[in-house]
Amino acid sequence: MDPRELRNAFGRFATGVTVVTCTNADGEPHGATVNAFTAVSLEPALAQVTLGRNSKACQFLKRQPFAINVLAHDQVDVAWHFAGRPADRAPAWVDGPTAPLLEGAATTISCRPWRTYDGGDHLIIIGEVEAVDLTERDPLLFFGGQFRYLSPDHDAAPGIHWGGSIDCPTSGWFDATVNFQPLVESAHA
């Protein structure tokens, strides 16, 4: 498989942009821009990030707490800063429940270490979510090798919300109030 073609294929999946933050060996805040983030489980509450095996952040995350900072739409400079292109003005840090957080993030997810798995040239790091902080800020997106933004023109497109789908978990074909009864009683009942 041609690595460039594979990278281009992976890049056709739109993602949010996060900065995973932790402390380094000296106890100072450290971050790495990551778009390989996903929710894993609600019970227990688990989230996953995937980082390059040779990154400094990977070394600092060994059995250490971390935070996932979902960047807001106006934080492109923060994304670049933690991707190795330092901004003129360093991003501002705030104290978090498990690890340092970035000021102005759309959402933060503070985690304790749970498991780490081999992911080839990356490590798959799963954290148990201890705390979240939600805002109403729109997220920064990444698609096709470029940063992108939510567009109000497309937010109202048909099919964007569950409400127009029969698969909606609360108002689709069957909502939580439906009680199913068998058509024929089983002889083994």
pTM summary value:
0.78
SS3 state of residue 158: coil
Q: What's the confidence (pLDDT) of residue 160?
A: 45
CA distance 63 to 57: 12
Cβ-Cβ contacts under 8 Å for 26 (sequence gap 6 or more)? none
Report all structural domains of the chain as residue ranges with CATH numbers, in order of start: 3-151 (2.30.110.10)
Q: What's the confidence (pLDDT) of residue 186?
A: 46
Give φ, ψ of 9 to 5 degrees. Answer: -65, -45
Q: What's the confidence (pLDDT) of residue 30?
A: 95
Structure tokens at 129: 């979510």
Q: What's the confidence (pLDDT) of residue 159?
A: 46
SS3 state of residue 6: helix
Whether the CA torsion 146, 46, 164, 135 is positive or negative: it is negative
pLDDT in tens, the chain (189 residues): 888 888 888 777 788 999 999 999 899 999 999 989 999 999 999 999 999 898 888 888 888 999 999 999 999 999 999 998 988 889 999 999 999 999 999 999 999 999 999 999 999 999 999 999 999 999 999 888 888 888 765 554 444 444 545 455 455 554 555 555 555 554 544
